[in-house]
């Protein structure tokens, strides 16, 4: 009985030490993956957004451009009138990918010409990576959106139950 107890304790200790070392290496690997993702965004994704998208989809949301901005992480995640532009890790739900692929059931962006296949592949990879994006900032609400949300109390008082 004692040898069994001794071996059991020893094996548990070995498993704990190995498990602890494995977890100790994870933060470094995770940090490296995050850095690689940001580097990928800065080298492959941001230049395409600046060159092909920012003319219409940067700054304040414009209803003529689906109230959709791409110049902040919040804007690209929030999307526009049609829904979320990028869902990290989910290609099918990412409307930005459908747009740049010129999906016949969706908008074709950029409208004048389709992006090269290698650029679209970069966007696919970026979304699968979790869409790492170092950009900060909030999406500005357009004046029209604010007025749509405003309550007209005089009009509401005329409601039949008041």
pLDDT, tens digit, for every residue of 134-161?
988 666 654 444 444 456 667 777 776 6
Model pLDDT, residue 43: 97
CA distance 127 to 28: 22
Residue 73 · residue 136 · CB < 8 Å: yes
CA distance 38 to 130: 11
Residue span of the structural domain in which 125 resides: 42-59+67-134
Model pLDDT, residue 146: 43
Q: Report the domain count for the chain.
A: 1
Model pLDDT, residue 30: 84
Specify if 112 maps to a domain. yes
Specify if 153 maps to a domain. no
Model pLDDT, residue 145: 46
Residue 90 has phi, psi (to 5 degrees) of: -125, 100
Specify if 93 maps to a domain. yes
CA distance 120 to 117: 5
Specify if 94 maps to a domain. yes
Specify if 1 maps to a domain. no
Model pLDDT, residue 42: 95
Specify if 154 maps to a domain. no
Burial of 86 (0-12, 13-18, 19+ CB in 10 A): buried
* pLDDT < 50: residue spans in the chain: 142-149
């Amino acid at each position: 009985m004692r040898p069994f107890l001794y071996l059991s304790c020893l094996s548990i200790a070995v498993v704990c030490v190995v498990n602890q070392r494995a977890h100790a290496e994870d933060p470094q690997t995770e940090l490296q993956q995050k850095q690689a993702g940001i580097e990928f965004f800065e080298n492959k994704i941001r230049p395409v957004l600046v060159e092909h998208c920012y003319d219409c989809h940067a700054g304040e949301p414009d209803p003529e451009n689906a109230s959709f901005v791409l110049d902040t992480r919040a804007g690209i995640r929030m999307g526009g009138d049609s829904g979320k532009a990028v869902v990290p890790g989910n290609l099918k739900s990412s409307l930005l990918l459908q747009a740049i692929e010129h999906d016949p059931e969706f908008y074709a962006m950029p409208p004048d010409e389709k992006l090269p296949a290698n650029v679209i592949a970069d966007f696919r990879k970026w979304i699968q990576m979790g869409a790492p994006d170092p950009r900060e900032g909030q999406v500005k609400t357009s004046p029209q959106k604010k007025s749509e949300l405003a309550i007209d109390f005089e009009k509401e008082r005329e409601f039949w139950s008041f």
